[in-house]
A and B are shown apart, each in its own frame.
Chain A
């Protein structure tokens, strides 16, 4: 399984864009990049996933580099409710029941 590397913590001012990086240099061709977040010990919440094209949904945007070795999750207008631990996970969809969580990035949104 491809491993991921994320910074342990980041701060973001409320209303500004939060850009969370993830390195996955050993990603395989059929592996997707998934992002989840966990707010204050609640169950993790799915945010977005992608293979090689940039993706956007109502929560966030996912930018994957052309060589697929890294990606960035963008929260366009961070709010205090976005304070959470964000996990970047690489996985083939057929094994999406078997997620490998690292320690993630603790994002603190500051008023």
Chain B
């Protein structure tokens, strides 16, 4: 049982490049979320999904796109990377029902130069 898997772990992009951060979970959770964490700060919600085909914006969605075609996968796309998107990105998945703890991946450290 791998839990939440994020790839890649590290990435350096040039300004204006695009890329996709991958997130996969094997717990059959309905809910998935993307957060970013800047130095010395707590996590901020970018986008979330409450099920396949359903996504919505969080606190800081600008510059990012998401889709959810399967329960397992929730990729985050950076359309045109900017230095302000340099951050650590975390994906999380959460079950519905009574046990609503979120499981987080180990993060992707992204640097945009």
Residues on A lying within 8 angstroms of B by beta carbon are 34, 36, 41-46, 49, 87, 93-94, 96-104
Cβ A49 vs Cβ B101 within 8 A: yes
**Is B92's CB under 8 angstroms from A97's CB?**
yes
List 14 A-B pairs, Cβ < 8 Å. A36-B102, A43-B107, A96-B94, A96-B100, A96-B101, A97-B32, A97-B49, A97-B50, A97-B94, A98-B48, A99-B35, A99-B43, A100-B45, A103-B42
Q: Are A97 and B102 in contact (CB under 8 A)?
A: yes
**Contacting residues, chain A, for B53 (C-beta < 8 A):** none
Closest partner residue, chain A, to B100 (CB atom) = A96
Contact of B103 with A by CB under 8 A: yes
Closest to B50 in A: A97
Per the bound structure, the CA–CA distance linking A58 and B101 in Å amounts to: 15
Q: State the total of A-B contacts with C-beta under 8 angstroms.
A: 64
B107 near A42: Cβ-Cβ < 8 Å: yes
Beyond A42-B106, A49-B101, A101-B44, 10 additional contacts (C-beta under 8 Å) are: A44-B43, A49-B100, A93-B98, A94-B96, A94-B100, A96-B94, A96-B101, A97-B92, A98-B45, A99-B43
Q: Give the number of residues in B that approach A within 8 Å (Cβ atoms).
A: 30
Q: Do A101 and B107 contact each other (CB < 8 Å), given the known contacts A46-B102, A96-B102?
A: no
Instruction: Identify which of A87, A94, A98 gathers the most chain B CB atoms within 10 Å of its CB.
Output: A98
User: In whole Å, how far is A19's beta carbon from the nearest beta carbon of chain B?
Assistant: 21
Of all chain A residues, the one with the shortest Cβ separation from B95 is A96
Is B61 on the interface with A (CB-CB < 8 A)?
Answer: no
Residues of chain B with a CB closer than 8 A to A102's CB: 42
* Residue of B37, B90, B98, B104 ringed by the most chain A CB atoms within 10 A: B104
Within 8 A of A (CB), among B13-58: 31-33, 35, 37, 40-45, 48-50, 58
